[in-house]
A and B are shown apart, each in its own frame.
Chain A
Amino acid sequence: MATPGRALPQPTPETQHFWDGTKANELLLQRCDDCSKVYFPPRPFCPACASRKVSVTKASGKAILYSYVIHHRPAPGFTPPYAIAVVELAEGPRMMTNIVECEQTPEALQLDMPVEVVFEPQTDTITLPLFRPAATAKG
């Protein structure tokens, strides 16, 4: 790898379970045991009611494309133009990601189109959750 790759996360104690999850091809969210709020990004308490009684829950991996830009400038680890997207998970939370297996054009990237998670290993420890057009949405 002569060229620098994309920025990679460094897990913290509060987020380690999420990155362990993606490595095992699971998208993990958290749910409050008291108020049932499902939330992201990870933290050991509920952002809605401050309860510390929270559980890790596996997401379906289904989402819709919520918003994005198509970046035309150079970036380490990317070949422009590429979309920087936010998807809205079926469980409610939104997350930033990239849309793969899809042309990076306004025509191909329609807001509200169904997408599904795919897991792309980056290193021995870090796997990123990316999204592709859902099977039912693919022509």
Chain B
Amino acid sequence: MPHNTVAVVGAAETTKMGVITDLSQIGLHADAALNAMADCGLKPSDIDGIACANETPVQLAHYLGITPTWIDGTAVGGCSFMIHVRHAAAAIEAGLAKTILVTHGESGKSRIGNPMRSVHPQSLNGQFEQPFGPMGPPSMFTIPVLRYMKTYGVTEEQIAQVAVVQREWASKNPRATFRNLITTDDVLNSRMIAWPFRLLMCCLVTDGGGALILTSADRAKDFPTKPVYILGTGESAETPMISQMEDFTSSRAFRVAGPTAFKEAGITHEDVDHLMIYDAFAHLPIYGLEDLGFLPKGEAAAFIAGRNTAPGGSLPLNTNGGGLSYMHSGMYGMYALQESVRQMRGIAPAQIPGAKISVCHGVGGMFAASGTVIFSNQAP
């Protein structure tokens, strides 16, 4: 599938980020979508494909005035957007649509037009996990980590370092929610949420949105923006129940999606200039670095603590500050994609000089699903 045949030509986040009380969730979608269309000089009548996750594509098509020939409502959590990009690239290749909008808006903090969802007591999660007291991701997504720590001798200090390093990136980003530098002790002394996880090891809760517009690489040259080509993509799923992961030290969905994207792109890890790994919690970059094959199992925590992913390091990771410091509306993948596109356009607040290839890896649910997109700014 895609090797530089499809490109992102429009990309934008919502006008505001953080706490947004003057827009509902669908309004955040629309704000991001209109910004992305303005970015590349398109109108809704120019869009013939639409994908979104927390609203249906029917709602967004109608709201924005789009008549689609292709729709995708894949909703598998925060990596849905990586998977939308993968599906959109395939759809453009197959001729199902020419110009596709992938949009996200989420009133995660203010919860306007975004009702709280509960786990149905007849679902497998409702029967076999909820009765034991998990209260959402902070006390669920974190459950495998003690097993990882025991298996590889990783310390709480090393997990805390993930948050410390990402705050360094956030300090360079004027739009980041948290920009003040922090220390390992700050993280370890922050409020205990679900031991061994403290508050600063957990993502933000904010409002926001983002949108991407994709078209074929040969059409991309006609747009005012610098095209960002799709080199390769991958997707997978494992289990909706964290207790049923095959291996608590590794995500099977990561191990399928990541290598699929690398193989499709025809690149090696040494080719990667910039990396985004969805960080709802501080352990995710550790799992991601290993499951994507950047490092052998058990080595990623020391790699991060050794400043290899920090500003000036060999593998810049989560350069917007990540879900831990930049923003996290609940489904974060769209914001990771936006940072990859900014890096490939050369306009990121913490720009990696000369970066040519960016890997953007997402998780959905709690190790439930995964999507990977590999971008390049090099013309085919």
Contact = CB atoms under 8 A, between A and B. Distances in A.
B128 A41 contact: yes
B124 A41 contact: yes
Interface in B232-254: 241-244, 248
Nearest to B151: A111
A95 B128 CA distance: 8
B134 interface: yes
B247 to A, nearest CB: 11
29 contacts: A6-B133, A7-B126, A8-B131, A9-B127, A9-B130, A9-B131, A12-B127, A40-B128, A41-B244, A66-B147, A66-B248, A67-B145, A67-B147, A69-B145, A69-B194, A69-B196, A71-B193, A72-B191, A72-B195, A73-B138, A75-B135, A84-B140, A86-B143, A86-B243, A95-B243, A96-B128, A98-B132, A111-B147, A128-B131
Contacts of A77: 133
Nearest to A39: B244
A60 interface: no
Nearest to A15: B127
Nearest to B119: A7
Contacts of B138: 73
Interface string A1-35: 00000111111100100010000000000000000
B144 interface: yes
Contact of A12 (B122, B139, B196): B122
Interface of A: 6-12, 15, 19, 40-41, 66-73, 75, 77-78, 81-82, 84-86, 94-98, 106, 111-112, 122, 128
Contacts of A98: 132-133
B144 A67 contact: yes
A68 B147 CA distance: 8
Nearest to B243: A96
B153 interface: no
Contacts of B192: 72, 81
Interface in B82-141: 119, 121-122, 124, 126-135, 138-140
B62 interface: no
Interface residues of B, number: 36
B122 A81 contact: no
Contact of A71 (B127, B139, B150): B139
Given A10-B122, A81-B195, A106-B195, A96 B129 contact: yes
Given A6-B133, A10-B127, A67 B248 contact: yes
Nearest to B122: A10
A11 B127 CA distance: 7
Contacts of B131: 6-9, 122, 128
Contacts of A85: 132, 143
Contacts, number: 114
8 smallest A-B Cβ distances: which pairs?
A: A9-B127, A69-B194, A67-B147, A70-B195, A96-B243, A7-B130, A10-B121, A72-B192
Given A71-B135, A86-B143, A111-B146, 9 more contacts: A7-B131, A9-B121, A9-B122, A12-B127, A41-B127, A67-B144, A67-B145, A73-B194, A81-B195
Contacts of B122: 9-12
A82 B134 CA distance: 10
A7 B133 CA distance: 8
Given A66-B147, A94-B243, A94-B244, A72 B194 contact: yes
Contacts of A11: 122, 127
A40 B192 CA distance: 32
Nearest to B142: A69
Residue with the greatest number of chain B CB neighbours at <10 A, chosen from A9, A67, A95: A67
B91 to A, nearest CB: 31
A33 B333 CA distance: 42
A8 B120 CA distance: 10
B31 to A, nearest CB: 32
Contacts of B262: none
B197 interface: yes
Contact of B133 (A15, A19, A78, A112): A78
A81 B194 CA distance: 9
Nearest to A122: B131
A75 B242 CA distance: 19
Nearest to B135: A75
Contacts of A111: 146-147, 150
Given A7-B131, A95-B243, A71 B143 contact: no
B195 A73 contact: no
B137 to A, nearest CB: 11
